[in-house]
């Protein structure tokens, strides 16, 4: 009987353990889908870098050293490779890092699951990096073939991801039947996994498919079910995404009230979770709905709001689309000059991003606006460009519209021969369009336009001689003006050269001020100047090499200069920032991103060991975040930041010279700004002792001996 009870208890414990593991797997998949950027931070925090191995034996040793089982570490690396392939995680060279992990995973891929996972990663990478969708489909299909006989939870989740990605690639490549097949399998697997979040995502994916296929009734059905499930979850981002997509469906159905309701709901949700890129999309949907109702002032307001967000994010394509939309709105609002200004800006961005498809419509709209302003040279130029691009993209209707603008512009400019050539092209294209339309009609809208153009051209020929006589008079006056302008330009150039020389001398002197005087490398004043003008500094660190102040004497001037310049360049490139030489052995780092202090210490350790003159040399590190104080209204001077770093390095030095140490501080939210006032060492030490400032250190921070303020009176002046 006792054996039976023990067996029963053991059975229930095993069941509970399996359910907990299953719940953890599904929870991880949900966190990955909800926010890849946050998932990435968790993933790298759970691992110690660098991760290197060349065989299974080395991999098992690595797993033991990191406190993992071999299979557990392999799963961690698979997740990390997968998240590297996601957009928007904020990691430089993410594709290269993913490829590196995939190469390592190939060494230990022994099971069908492991091989299928690698094939899924390969499909994702080739699709995102090269847009080679056919190759991506091949990889995904091979991955599915590896998993035919497996039914465990991990495999079900992998199949769930593969079917989604495969369905999405088929959707992008317009293979609708195949896309729908895999997206339905993706949905079925979500229901089998019995997680409301995954089911809601699957329903929303099918809603997007049907919306793109203009099957709006089915799209509404799936979106409604997704929202019903999402409302029971504490997932504000998912709710906001679903509201945005539903708003787009209602917009396409011309249900303006419902479209505005869900678009505003989406905008509120994205604002709460801080997703500015999606907030811009919601603003654009609201603007489009107002535009469809010809409420152009409201549309313009929301386009401008979306544009501000996209400028802040640096998304050039989104900015260009917003500028195009603004141009259209201003044009419909009877403000052609503003419309033209925005459209020309959009044109520049589309050219920069090589977005030829968008350029066609932007060029045509510019030609339309310019024709209203009667700027025929501009009409001709942009209509010609639109025609070339439309012909390249095989868009006959856009070619026809471009030729209409071009013909009218050439006629107005008096270039009769070219206008007639364009007119012939217009007639020919009109006939082709009539033939392809397969709609019998005795009337063509282009016929009347053609007759009007011919009449206007004949009138233009009659007045052409008069214009030639006037042109001769204009050329004579222009020649006189040119000679006078040339003389004035010569005088101006002489003055400009003198001024440019003075500017060059001034710039040279300013540059020397910002350099360390002996090595001519960026120094203390260079750091101060950058802190004053820059807003992208997120972290500061002061690196002090033990015995580094003797480095110039030990190496000699030339070798010291070369070694220091190489070290500073390596630090700048690897850590993502800028290095400044304060004095021998003391280097200040301004970083554009925030790294964990121990991670930063380890990176610097590796970089020092790569340099022959600093190999094995111990160092101390003081590091702080920027801004240092939580109150944005309190401005901290650059020299104060430097003095704080010096104090932290001094504290780290007090812990001994036989190890690498870092010391960092973080003032608490209620800490007064006075802790950073002069004398800094006195006030900051008082703040630390009173618990107003949090101290972090990789050693025993209780042993830190802070430097004492050396004033005439040691009493606290406060």
Whether 225 contacts 203, CB under 8 Å: yes
Whether 337 contacts 373, CB under 8 Å: yes
CA angle 659, 661, 666 (to 5 degrees): 170
Q: Which of 360-369, 412-421, 673-682, 702-711 has the highest mean pLDDT?
A: 360-369
Q: Distance between CA atoms of 312 and 276, rounded to whole angstroms?
A: 9
Q: What is the pLDDT of residue 192?
A: 92
| CA nearest neighbour of 347 among 368, 330, 329, 364 | 364
Residue 114 CA to its chain's centroid (Å): 31
The average pLDDT across 358-386 equals 90
The reported pTM is 0.54
| CA nearest neighbour of 591 among 541, 636, 516, 543 | 541
* Count of C-beta atoms within a 10 Å radius of residue 716: 9
Contacts of 296 (CB under 8 A, 6+ apart): 290, 329, 330, 332, 333
The pLDDT-based confidence of 505 (bands split at 50, 70, 90) is: low
Q: What are phi and psi of 119, to 5 degrees?
A: -65, -40
List, in sequence order, the alpha helices (H) in 514-578.
524-533, 551-555, 557-575
Whether 456 contacts 411, CB under 8 Å: yes
Contacts of 425 (CB under 8 A, 6+ apart): 403
Cα dihedral value 430, 434, 436, 441, nearest 10: 170
Contacts of 436 (CB under 8 A, 6+ apart): 396
Q: Distance between CA atoms of 240 and 35, rounded to whole angstroms?
A: 13
Q: Distance between CA atoms of 281 and 310, rounded to whole angstroms?
A: 10
Q: In what order do the strands lie in the sheet with 586-591?
A: 577-583, 586-591, 539-545, 619-625, 661-667, 693-697
Q: What are phi and psi of 396, to 5 degrees?
A: -65, -35
Q: Is 291 exposed, middle or buried (0-12, 13-18, 19+ CB in 10 A)?
A: buried
3 pLDDT more than 70: no
Q: What is the pLDDT of residue 343?
A: 92
DSSP code of residue 522: B
Tokens of 542: 């002061």
Angle between helices 216-230 and 196-212 (to 10 degrees): 160
Q: What is the pLDDT of residues 306-349, one digit of tens each?
A: 999 988 888 888 889 999 999 999 999 999 999 999 999 998 88
Q: What is the pLDDT of residue 671?
A: 81
Q: What is the pLDDT of residue 292?
A: 92
Q: What is the pLDDT of residues 687-699, one digit of tens each?
A: 888 888 999 999 8
Tokens of 690: 């009173």
Q: Is the peptide bond before 291 cis (omega within 30 degrees of 0)?
A: no
Q: What is the pLDDT of residue 507?
A: 63
Q: What is the pLDDT of residues 251-306, one digit of tens each?
A: 988 889 989 999 999 999 999 988 888 899 999 999 999 999 999 999 999 999 99
509 pLDDT more than 60: no
Tokens of 514: 């910002």
Q: What is the pLDDT of residues 201-249, one digit of tens each?
A: 999 999 999 988 888 888 888 988 898 888 888 888 889 999 999 899 8
| CA nearest neighbour of 391 among 366, 418, 428, 416 | 428
The average pLDDT across 159-186 equals 93
| CA nearest neighbour of 289 among 228, 247, 236, 333 | 247
In the chain, pLDDT over 90 holds for what percent of residues?
Answer: 34
CA dist 314 → 24, 93, 276, 502, 512 (Å): 37, 18, 11, 36, 33
Give strand pairing partners of 590. 540, 578
197 pLDDT more than 60: yes
The pLDDT-based confidence of 436 (bands split at 50, 70, 90) is: low
Dihedral sign, Cα of residue 275, residue 285, residue 386, residue 346: negative
The pLDDT-based confidence of 443 (bands split at 50, 70, 90) is: very low
Q: What is the pLDDT of residue 438?
A: 45
Q: Distance between CA atoms of 633 and 629, rounded to whole angstroms?
A: 9
Q: Distance between CA atoms of 198 and 205, rounded to whole angstroms?
A: 11
HSE-up (13 A, CA, CB side) for residue 307: 18
Whether 621 contacts 532, CB under 8 Å: no
Contacts of 651 (CB under 8 A, 6+ apart): 622, 663, 704, 705, 706, 707
96 pLDDT more than 70: yes
Q: What is the pLDDT of residue 661?
A: 93
Whether 128 contacts 141, CB under 8 Å: no
Query: Pairing mode, if any, of strands 539-545 and 619-625?
Result: antiparallel
Q: What is the pLDDT of residue 116?
A: 94
- DSSP, residue by residue, 167-202: HHHHHHTT-HHHHHHHHHHHHHHHHHHT-HHHHHHH
| CA nearest neighbour of 339 among 348, 347, 329 | 329
CA dist 318 → 237, 308, 311 (Å): 21, 11, 9
**For residues 614 and 158, which has the higher predicted lDDT (pLDDT)?**
158
Q: Distance between CA atoms of 150 and 112, rounded to whole angstroms?
A: 9
The average pLDDT across 22-27 equals 82
Tokens of 219: 């799209």
Dihedral sign, Cα of residue 136, residue 141, residue 142, residue 144: positive
The average pLDDT across 598-624 equals 88
Tokens of 53: 């191995």
Whether 159 contacts 189, CB under 8 Å: yes
Q: What are phi and psi of 624, to 5 degrees?
A: -145, 160
Q: Is the peptide bond before 679 cis (omega within 30 degrees of 0)?
A: yes
Query: Pairing mode, if any, of strands 586-591 and 577-583?
Result: antiparallel
Tokens of 531: 């802190």
Q: What is the pLDDT of residue 672?
A: 86
**For residues 41 and 15, which has the higher predicted lDDT (pLDDT)?**
41
The pLDDT-based confidence of 452 (bands split at 50, 70, 90) is: very low
The average pLDDT across 642-648 equals 91
369 pLDDT more than 70: yes
Q: What is the pLDDT of residue 684?
A: 87
The average pLDDT across 40-46 equals 89
Of 27-31, 436-440, 469-473, 583-587, the range with the lowest mean pLDDT is 436-440
* Helix or strand run (H / E) with residue 251: helix 236-252
Whether 410 contacts 380, CB under 8 Å: yes
Whether 647 contacts 684, CB under 8 Å: yes
Q: Which of 419-428, 433-442, 454-463 has the highest mean pLDDT?
A: 419-428
- DSSP, residue by residue, 594-620: ---HHHHHHHHHHHHHTSTTTTT--EE
């Amino acid at each position: 009987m006792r054996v039976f009870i023990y067996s029963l208890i053991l059975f229930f414990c095993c069941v509970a353990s399996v359910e907990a593991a299953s719940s953890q797997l599904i929870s991880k998949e949900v966190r990955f889908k909800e926010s890849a950027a946050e998932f990435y931070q968790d993933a790298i925090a759970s691992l110690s870098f660098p991760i290197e191995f060349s065989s299974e034996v080395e991999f098992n040793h690595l797993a033991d050293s990191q406190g993992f089982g071999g299979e557990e570490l392999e799963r961690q690396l698979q997740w990390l490779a997968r998240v590297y392939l996601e957009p928007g995680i904020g990691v430089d060279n993410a594709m290269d890092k993913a490829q590196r992990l995939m190469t390592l995973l190939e060494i230990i891929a022994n099971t069908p699951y492991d091989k299928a996972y690698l094939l899924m990663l390969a499909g994702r990478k080739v699709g995102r990096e090269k847009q080679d969708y056919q190759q991506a489909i091949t990889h995904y299909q091979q991955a599915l073939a590896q998993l035919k006989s497996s039914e465990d939870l991990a495999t079900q989740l992998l199949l769930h991801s593969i079917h989604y990605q495969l369905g999405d690639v088929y959707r992008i490549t317009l293979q609708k039947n195949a896309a729908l097949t895999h997206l339905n399998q993706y949905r079925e697997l979500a229901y089998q996994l019995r997680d409301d979040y995954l089911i809601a995502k699957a329903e929303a994916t099918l809603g997007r498919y049907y919306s793109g296929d203009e099957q709006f009734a089915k799209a509404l059905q799936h979106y409604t079910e997704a929202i019903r499930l999402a409302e029971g979850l504490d997932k504000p981002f998912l709710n906001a995404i679903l509201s945005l997509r539903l708003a787009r469906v209602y917009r396409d159905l011309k249900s303006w009230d419902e479209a505005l309701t869900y678009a505003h709901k989406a905008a509120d949700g994205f604002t709460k979770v801080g997703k500015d890129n999606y907030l811009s999309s919601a603003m654009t949907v609201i603007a489009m709905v107002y535009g469809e109702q010809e409420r152009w002032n409201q549309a313009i307001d929301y386009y401008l709001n979306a544009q501000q967000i996209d400028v802040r994010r640096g998304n050039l394509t989104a900015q260009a689309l917003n500028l195009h939309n603004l141009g259209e709105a201003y044009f419909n609002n009877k403000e052609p000059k503003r419309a033209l200004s925005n459209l020309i800006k959009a044109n520049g961005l589309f050219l920069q991003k090589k977005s030829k498809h968008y350029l066609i419509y932007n060029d045509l709209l510019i030609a339309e606006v310019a024709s209203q302003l009667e700027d025929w040279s501009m009409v001709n130029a942009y209509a010609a460009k639109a025609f070339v691009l439309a012909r390249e993209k095989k868009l006959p209707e856009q070619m026809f519209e471009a030729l209409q603008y071009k013909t009218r512009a050439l006629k107005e400019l008096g270039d009769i021969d070219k206008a007639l050539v364009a007119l012939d092209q217009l007639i020919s294209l009109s006939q082709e369009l009539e033939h392809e339309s397969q709609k019998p009609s005795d009337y063509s809208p282009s016929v009347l336009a053609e007759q009007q153009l011919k009449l206007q051209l004949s009138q233009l020929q009659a007045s052409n001689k008069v214009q030639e006589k006037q042109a001769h008079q204009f050329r004579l006056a222009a020649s006189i003006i040119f000679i006078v302008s040339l003389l004035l330009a010569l005088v101006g150039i002489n003055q400009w050269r003198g001024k440019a020389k003075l500017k060059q001398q001034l710039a040279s002197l300013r540059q020397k001020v910002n350099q360390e005087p002996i090595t001519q490398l960026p120094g203390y004043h260079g750091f101060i100047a950058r802190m004053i003008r820059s807003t992208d500094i997120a972290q500061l660190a002061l690196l002090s090499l033990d015995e580094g102040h003797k480095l110039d004497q030990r190496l000699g001037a030339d070798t010291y200069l070369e070694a220091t310049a190489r070290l500073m360049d390596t630090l700048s490139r690897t850590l993502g920032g800028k290095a400044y030489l304060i004095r021998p052995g003391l280097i200040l780092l301004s970083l554009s991103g925030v790294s964990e202090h121990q991670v930063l210490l380890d990176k610097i350790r590796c970089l020092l060991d790569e340099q022959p003159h600093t190999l094995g040399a111990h160092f101390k590190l003081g590091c702080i975040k920027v801004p240092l104080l939580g109150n944005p209204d309190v401005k901290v001077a650059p020299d104060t930041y430097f003095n704080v770093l010096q104090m932290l390095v001094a504290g780290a030095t007090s812990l001994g010279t036989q190890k690498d140490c870092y010391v960092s501080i973080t003032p608490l939210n209620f800490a007064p700004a006075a802790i950073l006032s002069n004398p800094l060492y006195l006030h900051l030490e008082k703040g630390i002792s009173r618990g107003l400032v949090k101290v972090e250190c990789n050693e025993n921070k209780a042993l830190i001996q802070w430097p004492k303020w050396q004033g005439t009176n040691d009493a606290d002046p406060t």
